[in-house]
Amino acid sequence: MSRNDRTKKKVKMSLKAATTWCLRLLPLLFFFISFVTYYCSYAILQSYAGTSKSVNSSKSLCGGWLTQKKWESLNFNISRQVQLFLKLDDFFWREHLSTLALPYGIKGSELQLLKVLAVTANYQVPANIDNLECRTCVVIGNGFAIKNTSLGGIINKYDVVIRLNDAPVRGYEDDVGNKTTMRFFYPESASYNPGLNNEPGTLMVLVPFKQQDLQWLKEILYNEKRVRKGFWKPPPQIWLGDIGQIRVLDPYFLHQTAEKLLQIPLNPKSKQKPVHPTTGILAVFVALNYCNVVHIAGFGYPNSRNIKDPIHYYGYDTMKSMKNSYHDLNHEAEALKRLEDSGAILYLHPHL
């Protein structure tokens, strides 16, 4: 064999060895690229907090380990609970009966609840949502901050859209969208005709703050004489909602929102004015339990000293109307900031 042939043979052998090693390194290289891409995507999404985000990007954050890691980072010392609504079976099989009255338990309200749940008889979330491996959710607050954001199209792409009280959709679709999966409300914040601003399949989720709230719903369901006492504002005397879409939120969530997230004293001293979570912060806590990705919009009030500033994206209410509320808005803003800093929630628009 000539010297040239031997050289060619060595080159071929070297090339073959190099090719073999490259093939062996390909899986490792692929894993490295995927790893870097994943974390770059996550970093980019985080950096866009405060701007419009693609829901498709949020789905990349649905890894079970990452979701659990976020939850554990909140240090609530409680397990995530995904059964959101009270069911009739709870009253017959529940091992530990509630020791707290509404809004944090059901003690003293069992009879009203039995009658309500006997008629509604449904405590499920629709299967097309409940069976998703990853649920992307957005909670839409009623704050002025969402006005002129043009977020409507983005909001409509989430699997679950949670709205609050009687906040309108019609006429505001460009900013708030028109999809509604759940609407949290209580009697004073109920619209007499939920169909005006909700889709036909929207779950109407009653948040009972007091016994009168359950009494109101029972009277509506059984067409009984309406009792008007005990409400800070007259609730609808006629309610045109679909009975099959009614759910009653488990008071567990309000209890945990107050105790774990806001650290509100559940039994304040008699001279202290009671403080309860807003429907908005409650909805965020519910979403953290049920959803894999939680984004929010329309949260945040103006500086409380500016009493003439509008507080909603609709209507004419100002900060003056919040003067005697049962909510600690500054405390809730701090809680939302902690959730945002931990990565548990992301805003869809700039905020203070």
pLDDT (tens digit per residue) in 160-199:
999 999 999 999 999 999 999 999 999 999 999 999 999 9
Least reliable range by pLDDT among 68-77, 161-170, 265-274: 265-274
What's the structural domain count of the chain?
A: 2
Helical packing angle, 329-342 and 279-290, nearest 10°: 20
Phi and psi at residue 140, to the nearest 5°: -100, 110
What pLDDT score does 144 carry? Answer: 92
- Per-residue pLDDT, averaged over 247-263, amounts to 95
Reading across the β-sheet that carries 246-248, which strands appear in turn?
A: 246-248, 203-206, 182-185, 160-164, 136-140, 293-297, 346-347
Q: At 186, phi and psi to the nearest 5?
A: -135, 170
Query: How much is the pLDDT for 34?
Result: 41
Mean pLDDT of the chain: 83
User: Between 274 and 200, where is the model more confident?
Assistant: 200
Residue 261: count of CB within 10 angstroms of its CB: 22
CB within 8 A of 188, min separation 6: which ones? 231, 232, 233, 234, 235
Find the mean pLDDT for residues 146-170: 97
Distance of CA 127 to the CA centre of its chain: 18
* H-only helix segments in 244-317: 251-256, 279-290
Q: Give the span between the Cα atoms of 255 and 101, in whole angstroms.
A: 11
**320 alpha-carbon distance from chain centroid:** 27
167 burial type by CB count under 10 A (0-12 exposed, 13-18 middle, 19+ buried)? buried
Question: Under the phi-then-psi rule, with left for phi > 0, alpha for psi from -120 to 50, and beta for the rest, what region is 341?
Answer: alpha
Based on the fold, state whether residues 41 and 60 are members of the same structural domain: no
Question: CA 313, CA 172: separation in Å to the nearest integer?
Answer: 9
- Range scoring the smallest mean pLDDT among 35-49, 241-255, 318-332: 35-49
Question: Do the domain assignments include residue 352?
Answer: no
pLDDT on residue 270: 56
Helices (H), 141-242: 152-155, 173-176, 211-222
Rounded CA separation 65/128 (Å): 23
- Regarding whether 269 and 196 lie in a shared domain, the answer is yes
Give the largest CA-CA distance in the chain: 110
SS3 47: helix
Instruction: Pick the last residue of a domain from 31, 47, 63.
Output: 47
Answer whether residue 125 is part of any domain.
yes
**pLDDT value at position 301?**
72
pLDDT at 97: 74
Specify whether 60 is located in the same domain as 43: no
- For residue 122, give the 3-state DSSP assignment: coil
Side chain identity at 333, as an amino acid letter?
A: A
According to the model, what pLDDT value does residue 133 have? 87
Is the residue at 151 inside a domain? Answer: yes
Do 13 and 109 fall within a single domain?
no
Of 141, 56, 149, 136, give the one whose Cα is nearest residue 349.
Answer: 149
Q: What is the pLDDT of residue 2?
A: 58
**pLDDT for 160:** 97
Examine residue 116 and state whether it is found in any structural domain, yes or no. yes
Residue given tokens 């954001």 in the structure block: 149
In a domain, 126, yes or no: yes
CB-CB contact of 297 with 348 (8 Å): yes
16 with 58, same domain: the answer is no
Task: Identify residue 83 by its one-letter amino acid code.
Answer: Q
Residues 103 and 19 placed together within one structural domain of the fold: no
CA angle 113, 106, 245 (to 5 degrees): 40
Return the CATH number at 279.
3.90.1480.20
CA 12 to chain centre: 62
Summarize pLDDT for 88-140 with one digit per residue, the tens.
887 766 665 788 999 999 999 999 999 999 998 789 999 999 999 899 999 99
Instruction: Spell out the residues 6+ positions from residue 292 whose beta carbon is closer than 8 angstroms to its own.
Output: 61, 62, 67, 134, 135, 136
pTM, rounded to two decimals? 0.82
Q: Are 191 and 238 in contact (CB under 8 A)?
A: no
DSSP character for 238?
A: S
Tokens in use for 87? Answer: 């069911």
Provide the terminal-to-terminal Cα distance of the chain, rounded to the nearest Å.
80
Is residue 26 located within the same domain as residue 173?
no
Kindly state whether residues 3 and 116 are assigned to the same domain: no
Q: Which domain holds residue 108?
A: 53-347
